[in-house]
Homo-oligomer: A and B are copies of this chain.
Amino acid sequence: MTILVVGSLALDSIQTPFGRTRDDLGGSAVYFSAAASLFDRVNLVGVVGSDFPQEHLDFLTSRNIDMRGLQVAEGKTFRWSGRYDYDMNTAQTLDTQLNVFATFHPVLPEDYKDSEYVFLANIDPELQLEVLSQVRQPKLVVLDTMNYWIDYKRDALTEAFRKSDVIIINEAETRQFGKTFSLIRAARKILELGPKVLIIKRGEYGASMFAAGHDPISSYFFVPAYPLEKYQDPTGAGDSFAGGFMGYLAKAGPISIGAMKRAVVHGSVVASYVVEEFSLNRLRTLTHNEIHERYEDFKHFSHFERFSDDRRPQSQVWADLAARG
C-alpha cells in the first residue's frame, strides 16, 4: 500500500548537550518518509526553496519515496533552529523561518488522490483539510499537530480531527486540547470527535494508545521508550514514530487493535534509533534486522507471562489465593 505524507521539508540547526548541526536535513515529512519507506512506498507532498541541496533530494529518491508531489519554489527553504538541554523531552525553539512554506498549498498529483494511507504531518490544520479534500477514499488518515495550532486554529484543527482515524500528539497537547489534566478524560474528548484511535507520545517514557468504541481501560495500550545509553538528538522522533507506525500498518494488512499495538511498537523502535544520532543520519543506515531485533527486545520489556523461566504458572498462584478466600 502506498502512503501519502504532506508536511515540511526543512533545514534544521540543532544544539543538544552532545553537539550541534547547522542547516542539516530535517522536516516532519522528511523524517516520516525516511522512516515509513523502510516498510512501504511513500508519496511525498511538500515544498522546498531553490536553495535545497540536491544531495537531500537524491537521498529521498533513493529511498522508495515518490517526489512528484514536491514543489520547488523561488526563495529559501523552511528553516528551524532549536536546542535541547539534558532533559531532552522538550525543544526550545530559537528561530523559525517559514520562507517558501509561508505560501505553500498542497497540490496532489492525480494518482496520489487514490492514496489509502494518509499522514497529515504537523502543519496548519487548514492545509491538512485541503489535503483531505483532494483524497478520494482514504482507508486510514493519521494526523499530527502541535500546541500552536491548538491555540490559534482550534476550529480548523477540530474539523481535521473529525476527519481523521488516528491522532498522534504528545502528552501536553492532549491535555491542552482536552482542557483537563486527566489524560483519560482528554482522550475521551478527542475520541468523541470521531477518531478511532488516539496515540499519546510521552517522550522518554514511551507512548500510550486509547481506542474508541471500547471503554478506556479495555483498549488502553502503553509501550515504554527503548532504554538508550546513546541519545544525541530527539529532533524528528515523533515523525519517525509516525513513519514506523504507518509503514508497519500499510505493510501488515488488515487493521485491528492488535495490529495498531504492534504498529505503535514499530514506531517506538524506529524512533529509538533516530535519536541516537543527529538529524536523520541513523535512518540512512538502519536495517530491517536492526528493527526486528529491537522489536523482540520490546517483547521482553513489556510481556510478563509465558517466560521460559516460568516455574510456577500465574494461574496456580491465583488458585492458591482463591482457596485461601
Contact = CB atoms under 8 A, between A and B. Distances in A.
A103 interface: no
Nearest to A292: B318
Nearest to A309: B256
Contact of A303 (B202, B303, B320): B303
B258 A310 contact: yes
Nearest to A202: B205
Nearest to A258: B307
Interface stretch (A110-118, A152-160, A214-222): A214-222
Interface residues of A, number: 60
A220 B254 CA distance: 31
Contacts of A224: 206, 208, 222, 224
B229 A304 contact: no
A91 interface: no
A227 B262 contact: no
A229 B321 contact: no
Given A256-B311, A311-B253, A312-B252, A305 B262 contact: yes
Contact of A309 (B220, B229, B257, B322): B257
Interface string A172-205: 0000000001111100000000000000001001
Interface string A311-325: 110100110111000
Nearest to A311: B254
A102 interface: no
Given A309-B257, A317-B252, A216 B222 contact: no
Interface stretch (A2-10, A76-84, A293-301): A293-301
Q: Shortest 3 CB-CB distances between A and B: which pairs?
A: A222-B224, A258-B307, A261-B304
A252 B316 CA distance: 8
A131 interface: no
A198 to B, nearest CB: 12
A229 B185 contact: yes
A68 interface: no
A251 interface: yes
Given A311-B253, A311-B254, A317-B251, A299 B292 contact: no
Contacts of A265: 304
A33 B248 CA distance: 46
B181 A317 contact: no
A221 B300 contact: yes
Contacts of A310: 256, 258
Nearest to A300: B218
12 contacts: A87-B181, A206-B224, A217-B297, A218-B297, A218-B300, A259-B312, A261-B304, A262-B304, A265-B304, A288-B322, A292-B318, A303-B303
